[in-house]
Structure 1
Amino acid sequence: MRSVVLPAMLIGGLALAGCSAAPAPVVTATVVVTQTPTPTPTPTPTPTVPPAAVVEDPSLVPNAEVPAEPIPEGPAVDLGAIPGAEAAPVKDDAGNLISYTVIEGDSFFDIAQRFDLPMQQLLRMNPKVSGLGENIYLRQVINLDWTTTG
C-alpha cells in the first residue's frame, strides 16, 4: 500500500468546501419607463429699439471725402546702415544720394527707413518696384533721387 501525503492547506480547503453559506436569493424589480414629450420652447421676442431723436447738423455732409494729405517730398537722407539696408548708396559729386543697390537681406521698408523717406514717396520714385515694395530682388537699383523717377 502506498501512502500519500497531502499538504495541510489542501486538506483544510477540502474540509471547508462543505461549509459554505447558501446562495443569496435573487431580488427582481420591475421598472416602468414612461417618456414625457419635450415641451416646445416659446420664442423670445426680438427687442425693438425706439427711434432716436434725429438732430440735423447742417455742417456735416454724409460721406464727405476727406482730402488726402500730401506726402512730404524731399531729398533722401542717409541715416546709416541698418539691418535690412546695409549696402553703400551711390552719391553724385555734390554728395546727394542717387541710388541704392539691393543686397541679400534687404527689404524695401528698411531701405525707406534708412533714407528717411515715406514708403509712398519711395514707391512713387520707383514705379518699377511691384507689390508695394514686397517684390525687390538682388542687385536691383532703387532710385533715391527725389527729383527723378526710376
Structure 2
Amino acid sequence: MSKRAALCLGIAALGLAGLSGCAGEPAAPPATVFVTLPPSAAATPTAPVEPPAAPTPSAPPAEAAPPVVVEIEPNDPAAPVVPGPAVDLGAVEGAKGPATAGGDGALLTYTVVSGDAFFEIAQRFDLPQQQLLKMNPSIPSLGTEIYIGQIINLDWTTTR
C-alpha cells in the first residue's frame, strides 16, 4: 500500500472515530497524528512569457466630438378640462350599474354596483376623472373609495 493510500485510510479512520460520539456513546479523546509526506517531483522551470508589443499608431487619434448641448423647454400647460354633459357609452367591466336620465334625456345619476371602479365609470360616461370628481366633491380619495349603492352625480350643471 502506498503512503498516500495509508494516509487517506488513517484520515478516514479518524473521521469515523470522531463521528462515533454521534450515536450517543461517549467518544474517546482524539489522538494527535503527525504525517510527513515526501516532497513531490520538482517543478520544471518554464521560460518567461513576453507580453505582446504595443501596436504602433499608424494614424493620429481622432479628435473627440464636442458634447451635444440640448436645451430643455418646459411643456405647454395642460389644456383646461371643459365641462360637458355625460354620454353613456354602454356598460363595461368596472361600470355595470344603472344610470338615470332626466325628462330631456340628459344623464343625472349613476348607482355603483359590485365590481365598479371610479376610473371605469368616468370612461363609460366619456368624462375626465377630474370633471367627475368636481361634480362629486363628496367622493373621497380621488375616487378610490366608492361603495356599493353610492349615487354618483352625472349632471355637469350641479354638484352632489
**TM > 0.5:** yes
Instruction: Name the amino acid aligned to 1:148.
Output: T
Give unpaired runs (5+ residues) of structure 1.
1-22, 31-50
Whole-angstrom CA distance in 2 between matches of 1:81 and 1:128 = 24
Give RMSD over aligned pairs: 3.0
Which residue in 2 is equivalent to 1:91? 101
RCO greater where, 1 or 2, for CA within 8 Å and sep 6 or more?
A: 1
Match among 141, 146, 149 for residue 151 of structure 2: 141
Match among 58, 77, 85 for residue 87 of structure 2: 77
Whole-angstrom CA distance in 2 between matches of 1:85 and 1:103 = 8
TM (normalized to structure 2)?
0.55
Structure 1 or 2: more helix by fraction: 2
Return structure 1 stretches of 4+ with deviation > 6 angstroms. Answer: 51-54
Distance 1:29 1:87, change over 3 A: same
1:67 corresponds to 2:77:
yes
Question: Could you report, residue by residue, the CA deviation over 1:70-98 in whole angstroms, capped at 9, with x for unpaired residues?
Answer: 01211000111111111220111111100
Question: Could you report, residue by residue, the CA deviation over 1:37-92 in whole angstroms, capped at 9, with x for unpaired residues?
Answer: xxxxxxxxxxxxxx9798xx9xx9x8x78534101211000111111111220111
Larger radius of gyration: 1
Distance 1:29 1:68, change over 3 A: same
Instruction: Name the amino acid aligned to 1:76.
Output: A
Match among 112, 129, 132 for residue 139 of structure 2: 129
Which residue in 2 is equivalent to 1:41? none
1:118 corresponds to 2:119:
no
Which residue in 2 is equivalent to 1:19? none
Give unpaired runs (5+ residues) of structure 2.
5-36, 41-65
TM (normalized to structure 1)?
0.58
Instruction: Name the amino acid aligned to 1:111.
Output: I
How many positions carry a matched residue from both structures? 105
